[in-house]
Structure 1
């Protein structure tokens, strides 16, 4: 397992930042396609399951679900490839900072099989994508187009 941590300050309330993170179906409106990320689609949750989605990525489709949901404080996603070759936990922590919000994003990636061989490359790409996501979120919530 490898860990990627990013932080950013956003000039908006914790409620606004949390709401933007929680609105998965709106991600395509503020998170443009990249080499790594190609879109998010909501999935119909199974009975008793939490909010679920599917990301289209450079390594294929990643199925995900919200596994922790503490309004205006924390949101955690678990994503995985159906083959089990890639598993990711992504946790956002939202806290008030002056008149704005301090946001921390921690991603934990675990690779298996063939993807483990290219893990250093995947890690660099995931780190860049994590930073891009934070900057895009900030621009979106603050109302500044990128």
Structure 2
């Protein structure tokens, strides 16, 4: 397992930040990138533990499920990604977003735990780098939107 942890301070109440992250039906604040083309096929509202969704990217398809939800403190997702081509395997990923109140708003911690197949060991640093970059991009977009 590889763990990636990133933090951001956001000048918005924890409830505002949590609601943005938890609203899987409206991720319009997060523009597409090479590793994220959008969230689709979301279970009917409201979002709760067990809600499922799909995220497409050039590298593969993530079929996610909400595994923890405690407003406004934490939301977590298990989102294994089946790689393209399928023979490359599946990257097992668990993403948690913890939100803590601060004097000026919120401190958000995004933790990604990756299980990378052995056959991808030569590409491990590239995979971790891409997940790290995507975590930083996501947090920056969340901050920009929440602080509007």
Q: Residue in 2 aligned with 1:97?
A: 102
Q: Residue in 2 aligned with 1:20?
A: 20
Which residues of structure 1 form unaligned runs of 5+? none
- TM-score normalised per structure 2: 0.87
> Does the CA contact (< 8 Å) of 2:24 and 2:42 recur in 1?
no
Counterpart of 1:124 in 2: which secondary structure? Answer: helix
Q: Residue in 2 aligned with 1:63?
A: 63
Shift of 1:113: 5.1
Q: Residue in 1 aligned with 2:125?
A: 120
Q: What pairs up with 1:1-146 in 2 under 5 angstroms?
A: 1-27=1-27, 29-44=28-43, 50-82=50-82, 85-112=90-117, 114-143=119-148
Figure out how many residues of one structure are paired with residues of the other and give that number: 140
- TM-score normalised per structure 1: 0.88
> Does the CA contact (< 8 Å) of 2:25 and 2:42 recur in 1?
no
Write out the 4+ residue segments of structure 1 that deviate beyond 3 Å after TM superposition: 42-45, 113-117
C-alpha distance in structure 1 between counterparts of 2:12 and 2:42, whole Å = 29
> Does the CA contact (< 8 Å) of 1:2 and 1:108 recur in 2?
yes
Stretch of structure 1 that moved more, 114-123 or 87-96: 114-123
Stretch of structure 1 that moved more, 111-120 or 69-78: 111-120
Shift of 1:85: 1.6
Over aligned residue pairs, what C-alpha RMSD do you find?
A: 1.9
Shift of 1:114: 4.0
C-alpha distance in structure 2 between counterparts of 1:41 and 1:114, whole Å = 29
